[in-house]
Structure 1
């Protein structure tokens, strides 16, 4: 699903982009307990930075499971 205000993706995803994307996904996580809003900027979750981060990680080839592992502080081999 595309949003009008989505941030553009880089033409190719570098390791540095992955670092920025992980930060965006982590910082712009849903607030607790209901998760309807971004805990960073109060926008409806997922906010545009969270969506951008997820799209970058998906473009790099990471699965949702790998993203969750990275968010939790684990490691994965980047494709």
Structure 2
């Protein structure tokens, strides 16, 4: 699936949206061994919620490195 079935982004990404987005991308991860399916909902990976989470974080201006830092439990200053 793709953009047609994607969840809408919030008009203004808040800190709360970032928290929800991080939860989405950490729960909706690829299922081993091949990663073709989402572990949480068994949809093709990346599933709708994983894509939504990544798009929210991109809209907030976070880099891939900052996202990885947050997933690992680190701190990132949000502007």
Paired position in structure 1 for 2:63: 63
Tell me whether 1:39 sits opposite 2:39 in the alignment: yes
Q: Show CA shifts across 1:14-40 (max 9, x none).
A: 000000000000000111221111000
Displacement of 1:65 = 0.8
TM-score normalised over the length of structure 1: 0.93
Unaligned segments of structure 1, at least 5 residues: none
Distance 2:33 2:76 in 1: 29
Q: CA RMSD in A?
A: 0.9
Structure 1 segments, 4+ long, off by >6 Å, are none
Paired position in structure 2 for 1:28: 28
Tell me whether 1:53 sits opposite 2:61 in the alignment: no
Paired position in structure 2 for 1:6: 6
Aligned residues: 78
